[in-house]
Amino acid sequence: MFSNLIVGASEAYLGDSLFVLVVFIILVALVGKFAFGPVSKMMQDRSDKITNDLDNAAQSREDAAKLAAQRATELKNSKSEAVEIVNTAKQNGEKQREGMVTLAQEEVQTLKQNAKKDIEQSRLDALNSARDDVAQLSIEIASKLIKKELSVTDQKSLINSYIEGLDKQNEIR
């Protein structure tokens, strides 16, 4: 090969052009396959991703704003609801309390009346039996003392006047 070697001045040679062309085409192919292609693709992917992320972020922000508004209204509603519930409970409590008080009062009233009635009854009973006993006794005493028979009605009126006298004496005492 080097037998053809000529050493001369610089001239334009066709071989150089062909060599440049071939080397350049190979270089373009290799760089495109190993470096430019992948890197360009990655740059494209990145710009796509950034665009997508920006869109998504805008969407998310809208959603978040919507949710926040919804929560605020819900919170307001729940507050008024709570107030209503408390009010209802208060009213119910008041009603119940009143009902219980009335009931108790009624019961007490009834008990009182019953007791009064019982007392009155027993007093009357005691008085009646005492009257009868006293009438009988006085009749016996009188019949024994004066051996004179008195009519029962006369005696009763006599005894009544007597007992009234006792009552008065009692009241005075």
Partner 1 sequence: MDDKYPIISILGIRFNLANCLSVLVSAILVFALVFFLSRKIMLKPTKRQNILEWIIDFTNGIVKSAMPGEEGKQFYLFAFVMFMFVFISNQLGLMLQVKVQGVSWLKSPTANPIITMSLAMIVLVIAHYFSVERLGFGNYMKSYIKPVGFFLPINIIEQFTNFLTLSLRLYGNIFAGEVLLSLLVKMAFSHGPATMLVTAPIQMVWQGFSVFIGAIQAYVFVTLSMVYISEKVEMAD
b/e code 108-123 from CB counts within 10 Å (16+ = b): eeeeeeeeeeeeeeee
* Dihedral pair phi/psi, residue 61, rounded to 5°: -65, -40
| Residues with Cβ within 8 Å of residue 96, at least 6 apart in sequence | none
Nearer to partner 1, 23 or 86 (CB): 23
Minimum distance from CB of 43 to partner 1 (Å)?
Answer: 6
Of residues 23 and 152, the one with the C-beta less far from partner 1? 23
Indicate the residue among 28 and 130 with the shorter CB distance to partner 1: 28
In Å, how far are 1, 3, 110, 163 from 156, measured between CA atoms?
178, 183, 36, 10
Task: Report, in Å, the least distance between residue 56 CB and partner 1.
Answer: 16
Question: Looking at beta carbons only, is 43 or 137 nearer to partner 1?
Answer: 43
Shortest Cβ 13–partner 1 spacing (Å): 4
CA distance 166 to 173: 10
Tell me which residues touch partner 1 (CB under 8 A). 1-2, 4-21, 23-24, 26-28, 30-32, 34-40, 42-43, 45-46, 49
